[in-house]
Amino acid sequence: MKEISRRGFLQKGIVGTTAALALSPSWVSAFTRKNYKFDEADVVIELTAVKRKHLINGTNPTTFWCYEGKLLKGSKDNLTNLPGSYLGPSIQVNTGDKVKITFKNKLEEKSIVHWHGLDVSHENDGHPHFAVGTGKSYEYDFEVTNRAGMYWYHPHPHGRTGFQVYQGMAGLFIVKDNEEKALNLPSGKEELQFVIQDRSFKENGELDYRPSMMGAFGRSLMVNGVKKPEVIKVKRGSYRLRFLNGCNARIFNMSLNGGDEFTQVGSDGGLLDAPKKLKRFYYAPAERFDCVVDFSKYNVGETILLESLPLVEGRGDKYTILSFQIEDEGAASFSTPEKLSKYELINKSEAVNAAKPKEFELIPKRGSGWTINGRGYESDSYEDYELIKFGDTEIWEFYNPTGMPHPMHIHGTQFQVLKRTSGQLEGCLDHGWKDVVLVMPGDRVQVIKRFNTFKGTFIYHCHNLEHEDMSMMRNFKVI
């Protein structure tokens, strides 16, 4: 039944374009389907969702839902399997690469892949209405236009995203470009990538997924899809540490070695214009954090802790996220330049609604669930304020009158945080190009975004994945 309606949707799209070429600009987006031939694509990958067992705890294996990748065209850097990990392979490409990926669903429920943070056309964006059932596949063809950065992929079927991600479905999508390469940031063994997730397990070894109004949490931290290592051995010298908070709902209050400074060099959408020193910060699901840490400040043998402080001072526990141990001399030292990248600040006056930003109130649904402006997810409808003229720049203001944090994510282009009025808790990651912005209780946050790359229907939602599944997601349509 759902399959049929999906086909209906696609057919309407195709008929719409051929029949109404110049008439209906809303169908122009259908032209964005590229269908690269094998020869035209730089990278061709097959990504299959399967169930697979991994031994994580003790003796009972855990069944995960995993992405398995096969590189059909490209170089070996394009696809890296993480040994022993339940995560999907890390995909790495260069800006400008033409990518062709076939997603094959061998699970017993519908799924679809979303390339989080990549600016792609709506057919390539993993909108829930494109979800495919068991035995079906979905074809992605897109050119990577994003700047260098750590992006990622995960499922996006409506109502099941939280569950499927918790079962293991996620992977990194790293983009490289010349601007980043020219900086010569620590690389090779001195570039460490961390996907941090939390999971609970039942006694029989299986995952224990417990969604609630607060989200789903886990009692153990997993790093890169394996049990968190006791210590990570590093050498004295500089390292580039790149993080994805891959948790469904957990927010960290990050602190380094009891108060040492982080030197942030990048954010969701790649490099900052200049490095930014941070003592601590809130770190929400789906946000990326890229920093350079100089371990030569410490002595051989010393252990340096990356910790999460209580979210609110005096309430809750402090716990260790990662422990680094200095085992030796030998890593090169890197002095972070004052200027990192060309970075264009979007001017407020560019927004068509600069005088009256659109307001999005993050509120619970009567009974249970979550909404944006009192509305839950509807697969094919829009309010007036959710229709956007192609080419426009807009300011959106998220207001959170609730007691729960909401990391808000908008698909499509990266945006910038214009202004934040904090309720009570300060220290969110607002710098640089962003695709997720953490809206703490009582906060009002304005973001500015250009809708100038693709027409079509996209979504915005809370990236607390249980909130998303509980309907805290809406369409917007660029026409």
Nearer to ligand C2O, 104 or 467 (CB): 467
Among 462, 470, 473, 478, binds Cu ion (CB under 5 A): 462
What CA–CA distance (Å, rounded) separates 465 from 472?
9
Is 114 one of the binding residues for ligand C2O (CB under 6 A)? yes
Question: CA–CA distance from 410 to each of 9, 380, 390, 447 (Å)?
Answer: 23, 17, 16, 10
Among 406, 420, 455, 474, binds Cu ion (CB under 5 A): 406
Q: Interior CA angle at 375 toward 374 and 376, to 5°?
A: 130
Radius of gyration from C-alpha coordinates of the chain: 22
Q: Report the amino acid identity of residue 255.
A: S
DSSP codes of every residue in 163-223: HHHHTT--EEEEEE-HHHHHHT-S-GGGEEEEEEEEE-B-TTS-B-----TT----SEEEE
Identify what 158 binds: ligand C2O, Cu ion, none; CB under 5 to 8 Å per kind. none
Shortest distance (Å) from residue 200 CB to Cu ion: 20
Identify what 156 binds: ligand C2O, Cu ion, none; CB under 5 to 8 Å per kind. ligand C2O
Q: How many CB atoms lie within 10 A of CB 366?
A: 8
Identify what 154 binds: Cu ion, ligand C2O, none; CB under 5 to 8 Å per kind. ligand C2O
Identify what 286 binds: ligand C2O, Cu ion, none; CB under 5 to 8 Å per kind. ligand C2O
Q: How many CB atoms lie within 10 A of CB 384?
A: 5
- Work out whether the CA dihedral 446, 447, 452, 453 comes out positive or negative: negative
Among 34, 54, 154, 455, binds ligand C2O (CB under 6 A): 154
Is 336 one of the binding residues for Cu ion (CB under 5 A)? no
Is 393 one of the binding residues for Cu ion (CB under 5 A)? no
Is 286 one of the binding residues for ligand C2O (CB under 6 A)? yes
What CA–CA distance (Å, rounded) separates 54 from 74?
28
Footprint on residues 374-413 left by ligand C2O (CB under 6 A): 409, 411
- Residues touching Cu ion, count (CB under 5 A): 5
Do 251 and 284 meet the contact criterion of CB atoms below 8 Å apart?
yes
Is 116 one of the binding residues for Cu ion (CB under 5 A)? yes
Structure tokens at 213: 């109004």
Shortest distance (Å) from residue 286 CB to ligand C2O: 5
Identify what 420 binds: Cu ion, ligand C2O, none; CB under 5 to 8 Å per kind. none
- The closest of 7, 32, 9, 12 to 456, measured between CA atoms, is 32
**Order of strands, sheet of 60-73, starting from the edge strand that comes earlier in the sequence:** 60-73, 43-57, 98-105, 137-143
* Piece of the chain touching ligand C2O by CB under 6 A; list 195-203, 242-250, 334-342, 458-466: 458-466
Footprint on residues 206-265 left by ligand C2O (CB under 6 A): none
Q: Report the amino acid identity of residue 294.
A: D
Residues 407-446, one symbol each (x = binds ligand C2O by CB under 6 A, - = not), give --x-x-----------------------------------
Do 119 and 413 meet the contact criterion of CB atoms below 8 Å apart?
yes
Structure tokens at 89: 């392979």
Nearer to ligand C2O, 199 or 409 (CB): 409
Is 449 one of the binding residues for Cu ion (CB under 5 A)? no
Do 406 and 437 meet the contact criterion of CB atoms below 8 Å apart?
no
* Piece of the chain touching ligand C2O by CB under 6 A; list 185-193, 198-206, 376-384, 455-463: 455-463
- 3-state class (DSSP) for residue 235: strand
Is 467 one of the binding residues for ligand C2O (CB under 6 A)? no
Shortest distance (Å) from residue 41 CB to ligand C2O: 24
Structure tokens at 51: 């169930």
Among 92, 105, 464, 471, binds Cu ion (CB under 5 A): 464
Identify what 464 binds: ligand C2O, Cu ion, none; CB under 5 to 8 Å per kind. Cu ion
Nearer to ligand C2O, 118 or 326 (CB): 118
Nearer to ligand C2O, 207 or 436 (CB): 436
The 10 Å CB-count burial string (b at 16+, else e) for 409-435 is bbbbbbbbbbebeebebebbbbbbbbb
Is 116 one of the binding residues for ligand C2O (CB under 6 A)? yes
Among 156, 288, 406, 477, binds ligand C2O (CB under 6 A): 156
Q: What is the binding site for ligand C2O (CB under 6 A)? A: 114, 116, 154, 156, 286, 409, 411, 459, 461, 463
Q: What is the binding site for Cu ion (CB under 5 A)? A: 116, 406, 462, 464, 467
